[in-house]
Chain A
Amino acid sequence: KAGVTQTPRYLIKTRGQQVTLSCSPISGHRSVSWYQQTPGQGLQFLFEYFSETQRNKGNFPGRFSGRQFSNSRSEMNVSTLELGDSALYLCASSLVTSGGLNEQFFGPGTRLTVL
Chain B
Amino acid sequence: DAKTTQPNSMESNEEEPVHLPCNHSTISGTDYIHWYRQLPSQGPEYVIHGLTSNVNNRMASLAIAEDRKSSTLILHRATLRDAAVYYCILRDGFGGGSNYKLTFGKGTLLTVNP
Chain A interface (Cβ within 8 Å of chain B)?
Answer: 4, 31, 33, 35, 42-45, 48, 50, 55-56, 58, 90, 92, 94, 96, 99, 101, 103-109
Q: Are B43 and A45 in contact (CB under 8 A)?
A: no
Q: Which 8 A-B pairs have the closest CB atoms?
A: A106-B43, A103-B46, A43-B104, A56-B101, A55-B97, A48-B100, A106-B44, A90-B43
Contacts known (A55-B97, A56-B101, A101-B34); A43 close to B44, Cβ less than 8 A? yes
Does B106 touch A at the CB level, under 8 Å? yes
Q: How far is the CB of A9 from chain B (nearest CB, A)?
A: 11
Inter-chain CA distance A106–B44, complex, in Å, is 6
B103 at interface by CB-CB < 8 Å: yes
Q: List 5 A-B contacts (CB under 8 A).
A: A4-B43, A33-B101, A101-B34, A103-B49, A104-B44
Given contacts A45-B102, A48-B101, A104-B36, 20 further A-B contacts (CB under 8 A): A4-B43, A31-B100, A35-B102, A42-B105, A43-B87, A43-B104, A44-B104, A48-B97, A48-B100, A50-B97, A55-B98, A56-B97, A56-B100, A58-B101, A90-B43, A92-B102, A101-B91, A103-B34, A104-B44, A108-B43
| Bound-complex Cα distance A1 to B37 (A) | 21
Residues in chain B within 8 A of chain A (CB atoms): 32, 34, 36, 41-46, 49, 87, 91, 93, 97-107
Cα–Cα distance between A101 and B97 once the two chains are bound (Å): 10
Name the CB-closest residue of B to A88. Answer: B43
Chain B residue with Cβ nearest A31: B100
